[in-house]
Amino acid sequence: MKRLFVLFFITLLNASLIWSQDYVNVVARPGEDVQSLLAWYKLHEYQCNFDKFYEINNLKSDTKLQHNKVYKLPILLYRYNGKSIRTTIGDEDINKALRIKAYNEQMLEVGLMTTNFVLNRALWVPIYEVECKGGKTVNPPLATNTNPTTSAPPISTPPPPTNTSPATSMPSGQQYAIFGKNQTIKMQSDKLQNAVYYIVAGHGGPDTGAIGSRSGKDLCEDEYAYDVSLRLAKNLLENGATVYMITRDNNDGIRDERYLPCDYDEVCWPNKKIPRGQKSRLTQRASAINDLYDKHKARKAKVQRALMIHIDSRSQSNQTDVFFYHHPASPGGKVVANQLQKTIKAQYEKHQPSRGYKGTVTARDLHMLRETNPTAVYIELGNIRHERDQRRFVVKDNRQAIANWLMDGLVEDYLRN
């Protein structure tokens, strides 16, 4: 993971979009060969990347890499113009722009890139996107179970491409470690372009939240809230948004099981240990959000939303519908909460017309609503201790459905802005 020796040589020689036609640089490590190096950067599926690598480094194709030497990667550095990838690179192809966005996010996710391109304006464009599109692909040199000899990659190597025409998707789909091994990002649209979401699955670390009991098993609120949160994050990402999972679990991706084991290893963005005290836990995550919020605000994000997701509504005896809180002093939060409530209500009425939806929107002075700077909404999905709510949450399709409905509501909210 500590492979952060990517160096930027940012020399603004002229007013062109590209920073003096610079490439992303990397320092070769002991034992590294070109194939494993390019595989780290997910560049190993195009022959063009290999050819370019040798060309820009003035190497013959059988040359061995020298460790500690700086090499250029076949990734062009563009100065992101703050508007869109398409205008930055001067190419109207929306699918290309989505692939490039996904590529940058993946590099950030695995730690090869240190800052979101929206924030530092350094956009990475793999050279095959601009110079040799349609060039022939090569079989990935790394199969899923053969890691480079130097060290294991930070995430699993993606499977070989199933579709060799990368017109609408990345050759092998994008994978983010946070979503788990078998989850592939499939870009659907860029309709949430320039929107930033901070998703806080409630509790985590030493705090499991409420605990329900079912079939002799403990149901921890934080695990189920986290699963719904990840599914929502994936939906948002697939539609062009920038998404931050604030509470994170590095080894629990999206899970389909009925019973999600309770664990205590969640961390706070980017990778901080979650403290025991409730006040310090909340302060930690609020300040993680606010730091990012300031940066994205400076970069003129169109909308920024913080979403706190819980499954511990108070009333133990009553089954509860999804309901919402906003801060009393946040009219913006109230508008977003009302939109989400409206969307969810419509879905309930569509799927269970006889039942009647009773989810409310209320003002409440909660720490995470008060202390976070983006427009914030607190979402109570139900009560993990209630038998009928449990029945909802142990079924993966229900967890997915609620994530989809929240996504729909957020799209409506975005469109109003």
Taking CB under 5 A as the binding criterion, the range among 30-38, 163-171, 190-198, 207-215 that sits at the site for Zn ion is: 207-215
Report residue 53 CA to chain centroid gap: 29
Binding mask 147-186 for Zn ion (x = CB under 5 A): ----------------------------------------
Burial class (CB in 10 A: 0-12, 13-18, 19+), 257: exposed
- DSSP letter, residue 393: H
Binding mask 72-91 for Zn ion (x = CB under 5 A): --------------------
Kindly state the tokens that stand for 332. Answer: 């913006």
Least distance from Zn ion to the Cβ atom of residue 309, Å? 8
Least distance from Zn ion to the Cβ atom of residue 41, Å? 39
User: Which residue's CB is nearer to Zn ion, number 381 or number 394?
Assistant: 381
User: Which residue's CB is nearer to Zn ion, number 106 or number 247?
Assistant: 247
Taking CB under 5 A as the binding criterion, the range among 22-30, 209-217, 237-245, 314-322 that sits at the site for Zn ion is: 209-217
Q: Tell me: does residue 209 bind Zn ion (CB under 5 A).
A: yes
CA distances from 111 to 98, 122, 335 (A): 20, 15, 36
Q: Count CB-CB contacts under 10 A for residue 332.
A: 17
Binding mask 187-206 for Zn ion (x = CB under 5 A): ---------------x----
Report residue 193 CA to chain centroid gap: 14
User: Which residue's CB is nearer to Zn ion, number 223 or number 238?
Assistant: 223
Cis peptide before 270 (omega within 30 of 0): yes
Size of the site for Zn ion (CB under 5 A): 4
Q: Tell me: does residue 223 bind Zn ion (CB under 5 A).
A: no
User: Which residue's CB is nearer to Zn ion, number 238 or number 312?
Assistant: 312
d(CA 302, CA 410): 13
User: Which residue's CB is nearer to Zn ion, number 312 or number 389?
Assistant: 312
Q: What percent of the residues of the chain are helix, what percent strand, and what percent coil, each to the nearest 5? A: 35, 20, 45
d(CA 316, CA 385): 7
- Secondary element (H or E) of residue 283: helix 278-298
Least distance from Zn ion to the Cβ atom of residue 138, Å? 49
Q: Sheet of 375-380: strands edge to edge?
A: 242-245, 195-201, 303-310, 375-380, 323-326, 361-363
Least distance from Zn ion to the Cβ atom of residue 65, Å? 50
Report residue 397 CA to chain centroid gap: 21
- DSSP letter, residue 166: T
Least distance from Zn ion to the Cβ atom of residue 308, Å? 8
Least distance from Zn ion to the Cβ atom of residue 221, Å? 5
Residues in CB range of 264: below 8 A, 6 or more apart? 205, 206, 208
- Bridge partners of 304? 196
User: Which residue's CB is nearer to Zn ion, number 304 or number 313?
Assistant: 313
Tokens 């209630």 map to which residue?
A: 386
Chain residues 296-355 in contact with Zn ion, contact rule CB under 5 A: 310, 312
User: Which residue's CB is nearer to Zn ion, number 52 or number 385?
Assistant: 385
Least distance from Zn ion to the Cβ atom of residue 73, Å? 44
DSSP H helical segments within 208-264, as ranges?
A: 221-237
Least distance from Zn ion to the Cβ atom of residue 207, Å? 9
Taking CB under 5 A as the binding criterion, the range among 22-30, 72-80, 208-216, 300-308 that sits at the site for Zn ion is: 208-216
User: Which residue's CB is nearer to Zn ion, number 45 or number 207?
Assistant: 207
User: Which residue's CB is nearer to Zn ion, number 171 or number 202?
Assistant: 202
State which residue has the least CB distance to Zn ion.
310
User: Which residue's CB is nearer to Zn ion, number 171 or number 209?
Assistant: 209
d(CA 176, CA 2): 17
Residues at the interface with Zn ion (CB under 5 A): 202, 209, 310, 312
